Amino acid sequence: MHDDTEEAPDCSPPGETPADHIPGVLRAFGRQLKRFRLRAGLDRPAFGALVGYAPKTIAAFEQGRRVPPPAFIDLADEVLDAGGVLGELKEEVAQAQYPAFFRDAARQEAEAVELHVYANQAVPGLLQTESYATAVFRMMRPPLDDATLEQRVTGRLARQSFFARQPAPLATFVIDESVLRRPIGGRAVLHEQLEQLLVAARRRTVDIQVRPLDREENAGLAGPFTLIETEDGRRIAYVEVQNVSRVHTE
């Protein structure tokens, strides 16, 4: 079939990742997706109709300007008879949702059997609402472009599938009282976020504690950190301050 958009320039419309910021894995996935689509004799509108996405979104996936969700990858692999080739890239594509400095930690987090988090700046990402996460990313300086902001929020919310794993991992959160009083995003956003914390704390595998401000000693003033325990008994520490992160294994 003829595809009027097939040779469109690889430019980035507002709300999508600029071409020079596209991770390599998204470029590779996009090329494979396009190759299988053309092999199947489908233009973007026809393929989009089969998978439930607009042609411009298919173009963004093929050009690496948007991160395709796992459900799309599975469906595309089936519709295009890709034999699992697209599905094999699903994990790597999912990692592209995160900033480069966090990808190793995200991988470890997804496999953790225990997770212990100390937070004294903002509500931990695993517990954030969409509105709160959006407000956090909007505050970053220099400002994130719309596409990157959307991608970061999507990636943060996707991490919360952590709680749905079976067997459920154990998670403890120690949150400084100041975090619960800091109206990031406004009072309404904070109120919604506090309600979500109450819901999360009802999980049998989740323990949330608040460290009162009136305590005279605090060994965590240097910033937030996460301890990750793996299935083979290793304990890994992840520390991040001002987008400079370290993963400690010793």
What would the pLDDT profile of 133-155 be if each residue is shown by its tens digit?
999 999 998 898 887 888 889 88
pLDDT one-digit tens code per residue, 39-83 = 999 999 999 999 999 999 999 999 988 888 888 999 999 999 999
Give the C-alpha separation, 106 to 126, whole Å.
11
Residue 127 clears pLDDT 80, i.e. is over it? yes
Which CATH superfamily is 19-95 part of?
A: lambda repressor-like DNA-binding domains (1.10.260.40)
Place of tokens 């298919």: 58
The DSSP code for 135 is H
- Spans of all domains in the chain: 19-95, 100-248
At residue 111, the pLDDT reads 82
19-95 and 100-248 share one fold: no
The DSSP code for 127 is G
Write down the mean pLDDT value for the chain. 86
Per-residue confidence band for 113, with pLDDT thresholds at 50, 70 and 90: very high
The region, left, alpha or beta by phi > 0 then psi within -120 to 50, assigned to residue 5 is alpha
pTM (predicted TM-score)? 0.70
- CATH of span 100-248: 3.30.870
At residue 232, the pLDDT reads 85
Specify the 3-state DSSP secondary structure of 192. helix
Q: How far is CA 49 from CA 56, 62, 199, 214, 243, in A?
A: 12, 16, 38, 59, 40
Q: Which residue has the higher pLDDT, 64 or 5?
A: 64
